[in-house]
C-alpha cells in the first residue's frame, strides 16, 4: 500500500503548499481535497502524520486535525487508530457524490439530516421489535451493557452507542434502510461526537437506550418506536447545539468543489513516486 513516509519530508513539501498564516480550517481542507481530486494522493495511500502536515502547510496541528475530520465526514479519508489516515479506496468514483452530500452539511441541512436519521432509526426500531430473534436480543443487550459500563469514557461510550444502533438496524432486516441509516450517521458523526460532552449526557442516553432495548426485547413495536423517537429528540438537540470547525470546513469545501471537481487521474505524479 502506498504511503507518505515520515522520513521523506521533501516529497511532502513538493505536494503541499504553505498556506498564509492564520488560514482557516477550510483552507487546509480545500487544499487536501484538491490534491485528492487531482490524484496526487492515490487511493489507499497513507497521509503524513498531523505534525508533518502542519509543518508543511504552516498551520497549527488543530487546523489539520479539524480538516481531516471534515474529509472523513465527506468519506474521502478513513482514520485507523494506531496506523494513520488513509485515502479511501474508490474515492475517484465517489468524490463528486460525496461532495454533493457535503453541501447538505450547513446548519439548516444538518438539522434536516437529523430528521431523516430520526425517521430511519424509529422505523428500524419498529421493525426490529417485530423481527428480532433471541441471538439478536442478546447482542443488543451486550451493546447496551457496554454503553452503561463506559459512561466515564466518552470515546468507548460512543463506539458502543454506534454498535447498539447498528444492531437495531440489522435486527430490522431491511438492508436498504440499514445502508441509508449508515450513510446519514456517517455524515452526522462528528456532530454527534462533539455534542456528547459529559457523563450526565451519557447517563441520559443510557436510560433512553435501555427503554429502546426493553421494548424491542418484549416485541412491542409501538413502544420501541416511541422510545427511539424520544431518544432521537434528545440526540437531535445535542447535534443542533454542537459546534465544530470541521462542519464549517465541510460546507466550504463541498460548495465550490462539487461544481468543478473531476475524477482523479489514475497513476498520477504521486503514484509514480510511490513505486
Nearest to 62 by CA among 38, 14, 28: 28
What are the residue boundaries of the structural domains of the chain, listed by start? 9-89+245-274, 108-241
Per CATH, 9-89+245-274 and 108-241 having the same topology is answered no
What architecture (CATH level 2) is domain 9-89+245-274? Answer: Orthogonal Bundle (1.10)
The CA distance from 7 to 5, in Å, is 5
**Cα–Cα dist 5/108, whole Å:** 41
CATH 1.20.120.530 fits 108-241, yes or no: yes
pLDDT tens digits, one per residue of 42-78:
888 899 898 988 888 888 888 888 888 878 877 788 8
Q: Nearest-CA neighbor of 131 among 178, 165, 172, 164?
A: 172
pLDDT in tens, 101-147: 454 455 566 778 889 999 999 999 999 999 999 999 999 999 999 99
What does the pLDDT look like over 9-52, one tens digit per residue? Answer: 334 444 555 555 445 777 888 888 777 777 778 888 899 898 98
C-alpha–C-alpha distance, residues 163 and 73, integer Å:
18
The phi and psi torsions of 84 (rounded to 5 degrees) equal 140, -170
**CA atoms of 186 and 178, how far apart (whole Å):** 12
What pTM value is reported for the model?
0.60
Amino acid at each position: 500500500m502506498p504511503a507518505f513516509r515520515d522520513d521523506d519530508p521533501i516529497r511532502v513539501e513538493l505536494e503541499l503548499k504553505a498556506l498564509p498564516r492564520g488560514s482557516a480550517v477550510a483552507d487546509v481542507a480545500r487544499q487536501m481535497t484538491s490534491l485528492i481530486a487531482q490524484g496526487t494522493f492515490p487511493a489507499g495511500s497513507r497521509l503524513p502524520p498531523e505534525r508533518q502536515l502542519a509543518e508543511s502547510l504552516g498551520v497549527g496541528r488543530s487546523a489539520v486535525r479539524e480538516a481531516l475530520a471534515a474529509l472523513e465526514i465527506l468519506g474521502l479519508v478513513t482514520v485507523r487508530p494506531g496506523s494513520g489516515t488513509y485515502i479511501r479506496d474508490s474515492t475517484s468514483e465517489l468524490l463528486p457524490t460525496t461532495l454533493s452530500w457535503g453541501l447538505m452539511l450547513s446548519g439548516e441541512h444538518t438539522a434536516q439530516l437529523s430528521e431523516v436519521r430520526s425517521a430511519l432509526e424509529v422505523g428500524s426500531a419498529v421493525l426490529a421489535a417485530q423481527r428480532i430473534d433471541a441471538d439478536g436480543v442478546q447482542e443488543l443487550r451486550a451493546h447496551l451493557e457496554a454503553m452503561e459500563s463506559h459512561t466515564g469514557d466518552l470515546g468507548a461510550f460512543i463506539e458502543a452507542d454506534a454498535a447498539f444502533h447498528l444492531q437495531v438496524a440489522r435486527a430490522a432486516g431491511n438492508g436498504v434502510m440499514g445502508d441509508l441509516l449508515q450513510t446519514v450517521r456517517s455524515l452526522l458523526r462528528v456532530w454527534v461526537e462533539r455534542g456528547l460532552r459529559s457523563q450526565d449526557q451519557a447517563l441520559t442516553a443510557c436510560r433512553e437506550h435501555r427503554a429502546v432495548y426493553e421494548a424491542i426485547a418484549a416485541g412491542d413495536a409501538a413502544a420501541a418506536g416511541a422510545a427511539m423517537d424520544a431518544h432521537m429528540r434528545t440526540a437531535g438537540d445535542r447535534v443542533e447545539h454542537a459546534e465544530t470547525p470541521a462542519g464549517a470546513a465541510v460546507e466550504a469545501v463541498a460548495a465550490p468543489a462539487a461544481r468543478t471537481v473531476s475524477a482523479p487521474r489514475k497513476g498520477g505524479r504521486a503514484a509514480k513516486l510511490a513505486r
